[in-house]
Structure formats: structure tokens, C-alpha cells
Chain A
Amino acid sequence: MTSMRDRFTAVTTAALDADERVAVVLADIGADRFAAAAARHPRRVVNVGIREQLLVSVAGGMALEGMRPVVHTYAPFLVERAFEQIKLDLVHQGAGGAVLVSVGASYDDADAGRTHHAPGDVALLGTLPGVTIQVPGHADEAEMLLRRALGATGTHYVRLSEELNTVAHDGALTIVRPGAEASPLVIVVGPGLDDALEATRNLAVRVAYVTTVRPFPRAELAATGTDDVVLIEPFLAGTSSAEISAALAARPHRLLALGIAEPELRRYGTAAEHRRAHGLDAAGIRRAILAHQESKRAM
């Protein structure tokens, strides 16, 4: 399958060719991918060197001037290292913002260790008003969400990952495995859908999928009629728990939030090993859901 990052390169390069407002700002990471585009658009593909604060601020200055900058690097360097630049130079300025596109996700480069892992990126960006956060799980979703972000205003964060689902969806909250309305609703965010579907085989649950976590589709969730949610996110466990609570505030409800509970894992290896260690492989998800159902019966 095409990687999200390859698709990002293609979509963004095409956008540079088609729209003079589009610029790409890089901090060495990814510069090789945009070498051809830079040769055609030397004034709209800017590599600032290994300077992440400047990376985001340059995009902020371009946004003040009406451009649509795309900013790309590893998630921890983009979101965590330059967080105040995102807060002030993109969001607080109240201009057009930027399209922030990260790679690395929570543990894509597992053997690179904690410095290259950003399980907290979505939680952190979630503190900023008006930032749209997209978590694609397939290259087709990444393309659709990038096109949407490029055509919009405001700051959009598109969190690319090397973990891919087999089937693409349209980004909105979608029931991918129907069931009785009274059954628990498993909500999968981005990558991890295949594991979740396997984990819940033969269980009396519905499975929904979503890529857009901010703004969270609160009304769509409420409309499912659920009062029993299992949330599976590929970043810090509970990142969207407050959104679920707000969506279901009018009815008593249960929530089991799965994700990364131990960000300081201090292990290398492979992404699959990390997924298992965090209990996000099919067996781990099934175990957690069965234990949760058992605890409900015991109450």
C-alpha cells in the first residue's frame, strides 16, 4: 500500500503547482522529498535548516501575508518543541494559520526511542482553540484530509503514520460494523482499525471509525444512541475522553478509553512490539474489552 507520507508529498507538490498561495516550510526533514518541487518553486519551498521554532514562525509570517503554508517534520519537533510558536504565531495571530503535517506518530520509529515518539501531540494541540486535528489511517484518507486542509483556513494538524488500515473511509464518524443500538460502541481513531475489528469479532458490539478528532463529532456520536463507549486512540489514552463525555452529557454513560498509557516505555524494537506493549494489538484490545464488560456485570 502507498504510504501516507508518499501521498502527502504528491498531493502537496501538486498543490504547489496549482496554487500560488501554497508554500512548503521544512526543517531539513523531508527536504529530499520536495527537491523537485523546490527546483520549480524556489521561493515557495523553504528549508530553514534544523530550526523548528523558526519553522513554525516562518509559516506564521506567511499566513499573515495570506499564504497557505504547509509545515512538515517529525511530530515531537513540530508540536512539542515549537508549541508556543503554534499557539502564538499560528493560532493567536488570528490570520490564516497553517497546515501542519507530522510523521512519526506515537512509535512509528520504534527503535529511535522516546525522542522521536509523540503520543502527547494530539492532547497538546487539543488545548488550542479552533485547531482541526485529523488522524488518517490510510493514504486515501490522508490525501482527502490534506486537500481539505489546503482548501480551508485556520490551522489544521494532519498526523501521518506508517501504520495503515486496509480500507479507507471518509473521515466522518462512520459505523463500520453495525449491531444493536443497545450494544457498546467501539470508536476507533485512525490507524488500528484492522486490529480493533479482529479484536471484536463475535463480540456484541458496534464498531465506528473516525479520523477527525477536533472538532470531535459530538452530535454524530450522540445520534448513535450509545451510552457505552470503548474509545481506541493511537496516542495518549483518554485524549478524547472529555469529548465523549461532552457528547453524551445528557445521558448516563460508560467509557473505556484505550491508548498509550505508558509514554516512557523505554523500549526499542518494532512498531508491532510497541503496539502489543501498549495493549493496542488485537489480543490486547479484546482482553481490555472483555475485562471491562466483566466489571460492568460485577457492579
Chain B
Amino acid sequence: MTTDFEPMPGDAKHEPSAESTADVLAVLYERVLRVDPSDPASEQRDRFYLSKGHGPHAYYRELSRRGFIDPAVLETFGAFASPLGHHPDRVRLAGVEISSGSLGHGLPLAVGAALALRARDNRHSRVIVLVGDAELDEGSNQEAIALAGRLGLGRLTAVVIDNASSTHGWPGGIASRFALEGWTTATIDGRDRTAIEGAFADDLRDVPHVIVARVEAMS
């Protein structure tokens, strides 16, 4: 895995969080997401919602590689006038679809976005939302998981970065919680980029899809 966080000043608390998402984000921005920095609001784009807004280093790095952020700006991370906060702000940065930080907002927002795309018959764009396994503790996610399954939001994909950080855990596994609500599921090694890419294959579905990406537990 890559850990080139050097351009951004350290944030000890959140660095493990940032690293846990590194491979999934790299695969998303290199191989999956149809996004274009020259047309960041295109109707036909895929929407990527980083719900787990903690540790955004890896996210900013991928946005920079993809051309949304000038690499020189990465060095301003966290500064007063910087567009790069410790939690992303969509108003400050093209390519950032949602402002996040408080947990349990991204998946419910993604349900609304998927409903909007369905309402105007956009079957091209996907809504992909990244959450953490501890973030699923927030009850708002359970509301979203149930409704997305019941309404058959086939253009919605959730990816859960599972580093076993949920305090009370998920007996039976995370995927089973989604499967019960009618989602298709894939549980993969969150460091295996081939497996990650395969799990994001854009199969036409009439139900939402969850990818549980297991990574090493936080120490």
C-alpha cells in the first residue's frame, strides 16, 4: 500500500483512518469513477460521497492525482485559508460531492441522491458512498439501509471500510445486515486492488450493492 502523506502535515489521530481507505480510494479514482475535473457537475458523472470524512489525506491525494486539486495546494492542508480541511467541504472544493465529518450522514444523503437520479431517469450515473464500520453504529445508517433495499435503489453502492473499529462490533458480519434488507453484497480484502475493482463492476442491478472491504484492525 502507498503511504505518501508527506506533503500534508501530520494528523496523528486520523492517519490510520486515512490509510484504511487508501486502496479503495485509489481504485475508485483510477479505475471506477466517471468524473471529469473539467466538468465536475456533469449530469452523467458518478457521484462519490465520502461519508467517513475523517482522515481525508488519501481522498485529497486521489483528487489531486485526478486533477481536481493542484498538488501545491496539498501542502496547505488544515490551514485557515486552505480549501483542504480535516473534514472535506464541498463548497470549498470542486469534485467533493458532500461536506462530511459528522458520522452517519453520507449514506442517507446518497439515498436521496439516488432517488433524485431515478426521478429524472438517469440510469447512467452511480452513487457510491464510503462509510466506516464504526460509522454504522450511527442509527441513521440503519434507516438508510432499510429504505434503499426496500425501494430497490440499484444505482446505489455502499463501500464499508471494515477495520473492526466498531466498539460493540457486528455479530454475524456487516454484510449480513445489508443482505437482510435486500442488498447484494461482496466481502473482499480491502488491500487487494484487483478484488476491489471486481467488486465495483457496474453490474445492472435492481437492488443496492454493498462492498465490505476488510483491512487490518486499528491498533
Contacts and interface: CB of A to CB of B under 8 A. Distances in A.
A66 B115 CA distance: 12
A65 B111 CA distance: 11
A51 interface: yes
B60 to A, nearest CB: 19
B interface secondary structure, majority: helix
B144 interface: yes
Place the interface of chain B in its size category.
Answer: 20 to 34
Contact of A94 (B90, B102, B105, B139): B90
A198 interface: no
B114 interface: yes
A49 B144 CA distance: 11
Interface in A78-105: 84-85, 88-89, 92-94
A57 B144 contact: yes
B119 A43 contact: yes
A34 to B, nearest CB: 15
Contacts, number: 96
B102 A62 contact: no
Interface in B114-160: 114-120, 139-140, 143-144, 146-147, 151
Place the interface of chain A in its size category.
Answer: 20 to 34
A60 B119 contact: no
A20 B121 CA distance: 12
Contact of A54 (B99, B108, B113): B108
6 contacts: A20-B119, A23-B115, A23-B119, A62-B115, A93-B98, A93-B109
Q: Sorted from nearest, which 5 A-B pairs have the closest CB atoms? A: A61-B112, A57-B108, A65-B116, A58-B112, A54-B143
Given A53-B108, A58-B115, 13 more contacts: A20-B119, A20-B120, A43-B115, A43-B119, A48-B143, A51-B143, A54-B143, A58-B108, A58-B111, A61-B115, A65-B113, A88-B105, A93-B99
